[in-house]
Structures are given as C-alpha cells and as structure tokens.
Amino acid sequence: MKGLLIKDFKLLQGQKNFFITIIAIAGIMAIFMENAPFIIGYMTFVGSLFTLSTISYDEFDNGNAFLFSLPITRKDYILEKYGFGLIVGGISWLFAIIVTVVVEIIKDTILIEDTILIALIILPILLIILAVMLPFQFKFGGEKSRVAIIGAIGLIFIIVIGVIKAAELFNVDLITMFNNLPVMSMKMLIMAGSIIAMIIFLLSFKISVGIMNKKEF
C-alpha cells in the first residue's frame, strides 16, 4: 500500500500549477469575504477531490489491469484511496486553517474560538464527502460518477432546503437556535456528528470493497 501512496503523491506533484491557483483563489476569497473561515470548507473539499483524479488516472487505458497484476489486493487498493483522501483532505484542512488565521490577523478580525469550531465541523463533513464520492467513482468510473455525485449532492441540497422550509413553517429560527446553544452542547453535537460520519465512512469503505471485488479487468 505504501507504493500506491507514493504513486498518488507523485501524480499530485504534476499538478503544482493547479495547487497554486487554488491557494491564490482561497487567499483572494479570504481577503475580500467577511466570513474568512469559509475558506476552510472550500480548501478541504477541493483537496478531497484529488482522490478522484488519481482513480481516473488508474482507470485510464485499462491501467487497473496492470495494477492488480502486482502483489496488491483490491481491498488494499480501496484502503489506500480512502487513506489518501483523508491525508490530502487533512493537509488541505490544516493549511486552510493557517491561511484563515493569517488573514484574520491581517484584517484584525481574528476569532480563534469561531475558527476552531468551524474547522471541527468541517472534519465530519470531509468524511461524509469522501464516503459519498468514492463508491460512485469506483462503481461508475470518471464520467458517469460526476453525474451521480452531482445528483447525490443535489438530493442532499433538496433535503437541507426541505428542513429549512419545514422550520420556517413551524416558526423555528434554526440560526438563532444554533447561536444560542451553549459551547458544551455544540461540542457534543460535533462529537456525535463525527461518530456518525465515521460510521458512514466505514460503511462506504465496505461498499467500495464490494464494488471493486465484482469488477473484471
């Protein structure tokens, strides 16, 4: 599995210009947006997408047939992709926190507690994003998976809008409710969300292993 990780990081080295562009966009957004911590979510999400590009590269020109002629199992391959997604997403997450804090110091608007809170909320979201994207990528491949992922994100968006509309119907102000939550309650929510996200992530891993075991190369 170490060899697979090295291979994927070598692939990322060839995308330096893209990395620089993403960082530049993030910096500009952080400077001109009032909500600088938004950058944490943006960069973490973009970082996690690199995992999909490595899978597409492996599938190109029936490359998987060669990969699985090497002494690696399909489960090892899936494990490496999930691990790679966590590593790259985690590095992007840490870097985004640093960028956000630096920009907030420059703008003299630093709110350490709020930034840390948002950063902690992003982590379970990263797990869920990977848990949703990777099985689609393994099942449908590069082109079809994009349509499937967009559909899944659209469904999540519709559910969120539905919850907001339902709250408005019953005169429930969700923003005020969350703002009025004590710090301890918010920490408990983040902890519960993280546990749920980890369970979804592990289920996603098992689903991906099942998908890959059924494939023929």
In this structure, which amino acid lies at residue 9?
A: F
pTM above 0.95, yes or no: no
> Lowest-confidence range among 12-16, 34-38, 103-107?
34-38
Confidence grade of residue 1 (pLDDT, cut at 50, 70, 90): low
Distance CA 103, CA 154 (A): 32
Question: Could you report the per-residue pLDDT of 156-171, keeping only the tens digit for each?
Answer: 667 767 776 777 777 7
- Percent pLDDT > 70 in the chain is 76
> Lowest-confidence range among 18-22, 91-95, 133-137, 175-179?
175-179
- DSSP conformation letters of 30-87: HHH-S-TTHHHHHHHHHHHHHHHHHHHHHHGGGHHHHHTTSS--HHHHHHHHHHHHHH
Give the per-residue pLDDT at 143. Answer: 60
User: Where is pLDDT greater, at 198 or 28?
Assistant: 198
Distance CA 120, CA 164 (A): 23
Per-domain boundaries in the chain: 2-214
Q: Say how far residue 186 (Cα) sits from the centre of its chain.
A: 21
